[in-house]
Structure 1
């Protein structure tokens, strides 16, 4: 097997899907179901696969579990020549640094990191952190994952300095914004690949996004690929699908978020709703899991509202 080629910012784009963690009743990982879910992702035609984001419950993993997932994903994706990224995020900068070194050892296409999350960082702290992380990852490039709930929010006008000091940073995973936000990112972030949430990808591409680490792929990876193809072949139709995706989320997923369910629970709920692999809806203690039967009741509704995301051919 040959290592995955390291990505450049110009190469980083499209729809990427994440590996979710099927769990036994005692919160241990069901490795057979995990392997099967990974095989489905590989077969779906995604632009790449990533692990250890929020939906992958990276914040709950033991280090032995972290390493085992890395080895599984590296072996499978390398055999099938699918690009893959390893998340090395952790609330502790020191643990993150150690995870980066171990992620580098499996030769991913890129390494994703979040910023340390107990105390906010100054702009100088952000650069200091990323410089050392980049050195530990070398020659593997970096992607910064800066979600809305992070204590330190990186503003568009910070990226010019970050790019100068951390040239191996090739992309950012963010919530995105309006047309003005994208204009600011073009001014300050240059050629960094900007990834936005999956349910806003059709609009995001029009405004300059490169792709998505996709919650739509959590619902159905093959459907997310089909929808991305539509963005090229039928842009107006793809925007209509986006509106219907967002309406469905507003009607059925946002109320669950308001009840206090976290993003991993919501993404596993979407996967159970899509029924493309046996993921289940259980998330690790102490977080609440959504009742699986609720997703099962919604299956006819989502297929009726979003048939484009459930291709049969």
Structure 2
């Protein structure tokens, strides 16, 4: 596809998630089926190799096979797509980027080097070299709350000023003051926030989400995102129920039982039941048993009937 501009990176983007077999291998047949379902769901775009795709736990041969399949299916259907080349090693991240250029993603997602937190100068040097390698395709910076260096709006603004190829950021979001600071510091960046806060964020200037809510059901998440354009109060009401479900039923797996974010994302997919991916994570990380999805599904159906139409 053609390189995206920052003002074209908008809305509800759904994540690619890896189906893992009992022998710890990626099930590429189920992965192909998942991509087909995501494309058919009509989301605004797809992205690969975020945290929930376990980018940190792939061989380079697997990375190449995943993205050959992903790019082929997206290109064949005209689905906008971004490729994540993130890795804790900047050298490996750069090599991943060089290998996906010919797949023609709309943008490339990166994290800052993550073994030791970089200074401003080091972060700029990293992004400049990545931008040179990706040109004319731009970069989206993924800076989650668990990053070694969690950037403040003013720091994001300095990176955007120094690296014009930086098109957008994926961050957790914040309060009204945080949004005002982001608007002042980086007004031209595409701003993507946590999916379960998107309606509030939309009203404060966010442009979309690389969405955990799409894990529960991508088509329902798209309907909710579209609703923000036409009936924001109704979208905010649905957000309160989404957040209640996350708070009461999903977050305790993280806060009380120590599961990872990617484990609960796969649990959400199993609760939604729209695709056969399973909840298994790759060694050495624990996954949540499928029986928990069976337990939570009636609760989700009662609280969020919009996601089970």
Who is 2:249 aligned against?
252
Distance (Å, rounded) in 2 between the aligned partners of 1:246 and 1:132: 39
Cα-to-partner distance string for 1:85-125 (whole Å, 9 max, x where unaligned)? 00000000100110111121211000000011111111111
TM-score, normalisation: structure 2: 0.98
Q: Provide, for residues 72-95 of structure 1, a one-character-per-residue CA deviation record: whole Å limited to 9, x for no partner.
A: 111101111010000000000100
- Distance, in Å, in 1 between the alignment partners of 2:197 and 2:9 is 18
**1:194-220 C-alpha deviation (Å, 9 max, x unpaired):** 100110010000000010000010110
Unaligned stretches of 5+ residues in structure 1: none
1:107 — aligned with what? 104
Contact 1:97 1:133 in 2 (8 A): yes
**Pairing 1:94-173 to 2, within 5 Å after superposition:** 94-173=91-170
Distance in 1, matches of 2:42 and 2:104, equals: 21
Q: Displacement, 1:232?
A: 2.1
Residue 254 (structure 2) pairs with residue 263 (structure 1): no
CA displacement, residues 145-174 of structure 1 (integer Å, 9 cap, x when unaligned): 000000012221123332232111100000
Correspondence 1:211-226 to 2 at 5 A: 211-226=208-223
Gaps of 5+ in 2: none
Decide which moves more: 76-85 or 221-230: 221-230
Equivalent residue for 2:174, pick from 177, 184, 198: 177
CA offsets per residue over residues 9-34 of structure 1, 9 Å max, x none? 11111000011111110110111111
User: Does structure 2 conserve the Cα–Cα contact (< 8 Å) formed by 1:222 and 1:310?
Assistant: no
Pair 1:37 & 2:34 matched = yes
TM-score, normalised relative to structure 1: 0.97
Alpha-carbon distance in structure 2 between the residues aligned to 1:95 and 1:139: 20
Aligned CA-pair RMSD: 0.9
Shift of 1:139: 1.1
CA distance in 1, matches of 2:275, 2:156: 38
1:18-29 equivalences in 2 (<5 Å): 18-29=15-26
Q: What is the CA–CA distance in structure 1 between the aligned matches of 2:294 and 2:48, rounded to whole Å?
A: 26
Question: Aligned partners of 2:141 and 2:2: how far apart in 1?
Answer: 19
Distance between the aligned counterparts of 1:288 and 1:25, measured in 2?
Answer: 13
Structure 2 equivalent of residue 8 of structure 1: 5
SS in structure 1 of the partner of residue 64 of structure 2: helix
Distance in 1 (alpha carbons) for counterparts of 2:229 and 2:304: 18
The aligned counterpart of 2:45 is 48
What secondary structure, in the 3-state scheme, does the structure 2 residue paired with 1:105 have?
Answer: helix
Task: Give structure 1 regions of 4+ aligned residues with deviation exceeding 3 angstroms.
Answer: none
For these two proteins, the number of residue pairs brought into alignment is 308
